[in-house]
């Protein structure tokens, strides 16, 4: 989580407590009554009576990235191509945030900070000039204005349906995925998407994994006597609907003849 933008703790600061299996509890100093976040060795542990069985523990994002795609039929089966690509990236001092390569070996794409992408692209064009001119590589393409969304947890690869749930939530929010990476360590699933879609994507996956299975959004036109009574009923029944029927009912807007109130969520 810290690596993917949640800068509450640096990963190296928790090495001593990991060694001695000591749980870490992160609390909100502005709301000390909130349970906060517990970091422990096992995701299935029971901490303070809370069930932590869900394989996905949280979501994090990294903004201001660009995606670099190197592709061509001449890459397939040629030893050292990936090494040459990342050697060129290293030579310009750029940091690679994420890597994705298809099993066909026809392309390699990776994400770098947007401020470093021009130097990376120029270095790759220079390194592979002969291959590009000969047609062994078709292009070195840059896709700017990207963000990374990462689902972080434990044993996600061995838990059926986690990836499907993530991608289904993004699809229903009409968000296109530009690249995907999932490590064998099972600790994260990473997707690259448009920067402008990042907040909407974060809300969509958070809602799908942590909130109700069914979300109903509604608006009230005419908050008079009948409308006010309806709002009172919705307020009184919201908790029952969520607890008994797993329905999250949200009033997104209220409008009258002169004024309008819209939800920010």
Interval 74-87: pLDDT, tens:
777 778 888 999 99
Instruction: Assign residue 152 the CATH number of its domain.
Output: 3.30.2130.10
* CA separation for the pair 209, 58 (Å, rounded): 9
Same domain, yes or no, for 179 and 258? no
Interval 232-255: pLDDT, tens:
898 888 888 877 777 778 888 999
pTM of the model: 0.68
Interval 119-157: pLDDT, tens:
999 999 999 999 899 888 899 999 999 999 999 887 776
Same domain, yes or no, for 202 and 184? yes
* CA separation for the pair 246, 249 (Å, rounded): 10
Most distant CA pair in the chain, distance: 76
Same domain, yes or no, for 240 and 174? no
Range list of H helices, 93-197: 117-127, 129-134, 162-172
Same domain, yes or no, for 70 and 123? yes
Same domain, yes or no, for 24 and 86? no
Interval 193-221: pLDDT, tens:
999 999 999 988 987 876 555 678 889 99
* CA separation for the pair 237, 210 (Å, rounded): 20
Same domain, yes or no, for 65 and 122? yes
Q: Which of 143, 165, 145, 144 is closest to 153 using CA atoms?
A: 165
End position of a domain, from candidates 53, 73, 91: 53
174 exposure class (CB count in 10 Å sphere: 0-12, 13-18, 19+): exposed
> Do the beta carbons of residue 177 and residue 150 sit within 8 Å?
no
* CA separation for the pair 107, 140 (Å, rounded): 10
* CA separation for the pair 10, 6 (Å, rounded): 9
Number of domains in the chain: 3
Same domain, yes or no, for 42 and 69? no
Same domain, yes or no, for 130 and 24? no
Pairing label, strands 247-255, 214-221: parallel
* CA separation for the pair 130, 254 (Å, rounded): 63
Same domain, yes or no, for 220 and 168? no
Instruction: Tell me which H or E stretch contains 247.
Output: strand 247-255
Same domain, yes or no, for 78 and 186? yes
Is pLDDT of 192 > 90? yes
Same domain, yes or no, for 85 and 138? yes
> Do the beta carbons of residue 250 and residue 256 sit within 8 Å?
no
Domain that holds residue 229: 214-262
End position of a domain, from candidates 188, 210, 232: 210
Range list of H helices, the chain: 15-19, 81-91, 117-127, 129-134, 162-172, 198-210, 225-245
């Amino acid at each position: 989580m810290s690596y993917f933008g949640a800068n509450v703790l640096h990963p190296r600061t928790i090495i001593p407590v990991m060694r001695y299996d000591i749980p870490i509890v992160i609390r909100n100093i502005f709301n000390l009554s909130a349970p906060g976040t517990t970091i422990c060795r096992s995701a299935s542990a029971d901490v303070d009576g809370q069930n932590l069985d869900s394989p996905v523990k949280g979501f994090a994002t990294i903004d201001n990235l660009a995606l670099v795609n190197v592709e061509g039929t001449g890459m397939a089966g040629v030893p050292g191509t990936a090494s040459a690509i990342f050697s060129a990236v290293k030579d310009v001092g750029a940091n690679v945030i994420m890597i994705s390569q298809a099993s066909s070996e026809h392309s390699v794409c990776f994400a770098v900070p947007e401020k470093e992408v021009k130097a990376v692209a120029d270095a790759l064009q220079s390194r592979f000039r002969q291959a590009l001119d000969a047609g062994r590589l078709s292009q070195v393409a840059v896709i700017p204005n990207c963000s990374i969304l990462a689902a972080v947890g434990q044993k996600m690869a061995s838990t059926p349906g986690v990836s499907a749930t993530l991608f289904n939530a993004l699809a229903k929010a009409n968000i296109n995925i530009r690249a995907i990476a999932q490590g064998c360590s099972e600790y994260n699933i990473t997707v690259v998407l448009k920067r402008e879609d990042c907040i909407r994507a974060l809300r969509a996956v958070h809602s799908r994994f942590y909130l109700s299975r069914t979300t109903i959004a509604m608006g009230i036109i005419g908050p008079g006597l009948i409308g006010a009574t309806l709002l009172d009923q919705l307020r009184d029944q919201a908790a029952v609907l969520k607890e008994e029927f797993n329905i999250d009912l949200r009033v997104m807007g209220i409008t009258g003849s002169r004024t309008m109130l819209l939800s920010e969520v």
